Structure 1
C-alpha cells in the first residue's frame, strides 16, 4: 500500500522515548481520554515480557517471520532495536488514516525518521526523563532486566535521546499527571487546526455561510 502524496484525512501521531521514560504509561493514560485516536500495535521479534499479551501489547512473531514480512514490503516502518526487530505493518496504519481516523505510533527515533519521510505532515513527540538517575531507577524498578542489560539500555538511551531535536514537541516526564496533560494538549490542539476542522465540519460551515 503506497503512501499518497496528498495530505491524509487522518493525523498520524508519533511518540518516541528511551526505554524507561514512561512512554507507554503516558500514551495509555492519554488515549483513555482521547478515544478518537487509535493506537497501532507494533510487531516485534523479541519474546514477550511478563504480563505482555499477543495482539494487545505487540504482535509477537519470530525473527524469521519478521524478516519475511520485511522482504514482502509489509512494513510502514521497522528497525532493529536492542538486537530485536520492531515495526509497524502498513495495514495497521494506512486504512485508518485514509478513512479519516487519527492513529498513534509508539516507536523509536529510527522508526519516527522513516515515518516522517513517508508522511511529512505527521506530528511527532519525544519524551525525556527528568534525569539520568530517574531513568536508571525506573529501569531497575521493572525488576525484569539484569544489571548488564540495564547498562546496555542506558547506553542505548543516551543515543536515542540525542535525536530529540528531530521531533516537533518535547515533553519532560517528571510529574506524570502534568506530562500526560501536556501530551493530550498536543493531540487536542492539532485536531483543532483550521484545516482539520474545515474537513470535519464542512457541512456545518457551508450552512453557516449560506
Structure 2
C-alpha cells in the first residue's frame, strides 16, 4: 500500500479500539484517523456513546477531544490559500469526481439508488449509537465495521485499498465472537469489564 494512507487509517482505528475505555483516548485516536481520511468521523456517534454509558460527560469528552484533534490536524497542514483550497482538494474533489470504479460510475442511471444508500449510511451511523443499548467490545468492533462499509457503499470511487478500512474491525468482531463466554452486561467504566476487554483485544493483535 505504498503511496497511500489507507493502512494508517486502519491502524488508527485498531488503536481507537484499544483506547476505548477512555473517552478522551478514543476521541483523540478517532480524531487522528478522521484527519487522515474523513470517513472515520461517521463512527463518532458510536465512539461517543461507548459501550452504552448515558452519562453526558463521557460522550461530551469524546466529542470535544475528537473535534480538537481534527481542528489541530487541519490547521497544521492547512495550505497557504486557506480553507477554501483545503475544501476543494478534499471534500470538494470527492463530491465532484467522476469515476468508473464503482457501480454508480458504471451505471449513472442508478443515481437514485446511490442517494438511498447515502441516506441509509446516515441512518446506520446514527442508529449504532443507540442500538444495542449495551454492547461488548466485540459488538463495538462489529458496529464500527458496519458503519465503515455503509459509508463506503454509496461512494463514487471504489478501490481495493479501501478494504483495510473495515477489515481489521471485522476481524476483531469475527474472531472475538469465538473467545469464551459472552461478556457481562457491565458499564464501560467497570474495572472488570475494562480489564477483560484489554486482555481480549491484546490477544487478538
Q: Which TM-score applies when normalising by structure 2?
A: 0.29
More strand by share: 1
Considering fraction of residues, name the structure with more helix.
Answer: 2
